[in-house]
Structure 1
């Protein structure tokens, strides 16, 4: 599986969206796979919830949604230029108070840099789904323009 991700990273280098989502059920090994990839590439896995949470904690609640995308780009910009960005723990992006689109936020990062992200939801047919429809954090996206790798 690790070799498949590396191959996909090479293949997406010349596409407009350089995003690979690792999708699987809880405890399927997505984070472990991302850690192995980070080790093999000599880079680090970025814990989005931790890093973004630290930066947003100092902001008033009403400014967090407006700043979330910019802060995410700032965090991502600290990574070495040629290395792919390895994103994990994206759940904070789904916080309803932020009023952002988590997938679009990640896609924006993937226009200029290769991104491998652990999708915290599941794949249902051709849809990327996060949380049940009755949950306030529920999101449902088309997988168009995204390379999805099921773990």
Structure 2
């Protein structure tokens, strides 16, 4: 991934309908040392959701996930770096992770550390057969491979 190309895309985010960038590693392991010098507000999605969902009935999780994230993503001038998003793939939440991120990215600039891989035009999380297996080939936003 070229630092200048990522920086250029980040500068252009505000001009797009979906202000969304996925950072993917060619391997499954993601190294969170992003080669970008700009400052972003980092959000640990696992931490934010798990702290708030503990107070909500499991059957109501799908109704609250987006609202919980919207409570921490509040500044339209800020660029948010979403890290540790693995919780979004938990079947109990009953959310489509990419659609959720796309919806939020209509109003907020998001850079997402994708915890899976990008291959053949698809974002993939987990291995086929795993309960959290997820794949999406139709999505908005840009993908950068590291």
Q: Fold conserved (TM > 0.5)?
A: yes
Match in the other structure for 2:76: 81
3-state SS of 2:71 partner = helix
Structure 2, unpaired ranges of 5+: none
When normalised by structure 1's length, the TM-score is: 0.86
Q: Is the 8 A contact 1:20 1:116 kept in 2?
A: yes
Q: How many residues matched?
A: 144
Change (3 A) 1:81 1:16: closer
Q: Is the 8 A contact 2:30 2:113 kept in 1?
A: no
Q: Is the 8 A contact 1:93 1:102 kept in 2?
A: yes
Q: Is the 8 A contact 1:23 1:120 kept in 2?
A: yes
**Cα RMSD, aligned residues only:** 1.7
Q: Is the 8 A contact 1:52 1:75 kept in 2?
A: no
3-state SS of 1:148 partner = strand
Match in the other structure for 1:96: 91
- Give the number of the structure whose residues are more often helix, by fraction: 1
Structure 1, unpaired ranges of 5+: none
